[in-house]
Amino acid sequence: MKTDLYQQVERLTRKWWFYLLAFLVPAILPPFASTGLGYWRELNSFIWHVSDEVYNKKLTYQASMPIMHLFVLLLIVALLVLGKRFGRAFSLLVALNYAYIAFIQTSVVTEKYGLVLISELFAWYLIVFLLWLWEAWAPKNDYTWDKSQRKPYWAIPLALLAFWDPDQTWQLHLRYFIVSYSPTAFCMMTPIYLTVLLFIYPKVNPLLLRVQGFVGILISVITLVIAFMKEPSGGVYWTLLHVPLILISLYSFILGIRTKITTQNQ
| Domain spans of the chain, in order of start | 3-265
pLDDT, residue 238, reads 86
Q: State the helix-helix crossing angle for 186-200 and 206-230, rounded to 10 degrees.
A: 150
Q: What are phi and psi of 109, to 5 degrees?
A: -105, 125
Q: Decide which of 8 and 226 is more confident.
A: 8
**Residues 233, 184: Cα–Cα separation, whole Å:** 25
Q: What is the CA radius of gyration of the chain?
A: 19
Structural contact between residues 146 and 161, judged by C-beta atoms closer than 8 angstroms: no
- Provide the residue type at 206 as one letter: P
* Angle ∠(239,214,9) on CA atoms, nearest 5: 170
Quick check: bond before 202 cis, omega within 30?
A: yes
pLDDT, residue 143, reads 93
**Residues 6, 263: Cα–Cα separation, whole Å:** 13
pLDDT, residue 3, reads 56
Those residues whose C-beta lies under 8 Å from the C-beta of residue 112, and which sit 6 or more positions away, are 35, 49
**Residues 86, 211: Cα–Cα separation, whole Å:** 23
Instruction: Give yes or no for residue 249 having a pLDDT over 80.
Output: yes
pLDDT-derived band at 262 (thresholds 50, 70, 90) equals: low
Q: Give SS3 for 181.
A: coil
Most confident residue range from 3-7, 105-109, 223-227: 105-109
pLDDT, residue 131, reads 97
pLDDT-derived band at 265 (thresholds 50, 70, 90) equals: low
**Residues 196, 155: Cα–Cα separation, whole Å:** 10
H or E element that contains 132: helix 119-137
**Residues 2, 163: Cα–Cα separation, whole Å:** 35
Instruction: Give yes or no for residue 261 having a pLDDT over 70.
Output: no
The pTM of this model reads 0.91
Burial zone of 59 (CB within 10 Å; 0-12 exposed, 13-18 middle, 19+ buried)? exposed
Count of positions (residues) in the chain: 266
pLDDT tens-digit map of 57-102: 999 999 999 999 999 999 999 999 999 999 999 999 999 999 999 9
**Residues 229, 238: Cα–Cα separation, whole Å:** 12
What share of the chain in percent tops pLDDT 90?
Answer: 62
Instruction: Give yes or no for residue 2 having a pLDDT over 70.
Output: no
**Residues 237, 157: Cα–Cα separation, whole Å:** 17
What is the rounded average pLDDT of the residues 156-185?
A: 93
What is the rounded average pLDDT of the residues 220-224?
A: 88
Count Cβ atoms below 10 Å from residue 144 Cβ, excluding itself.
12
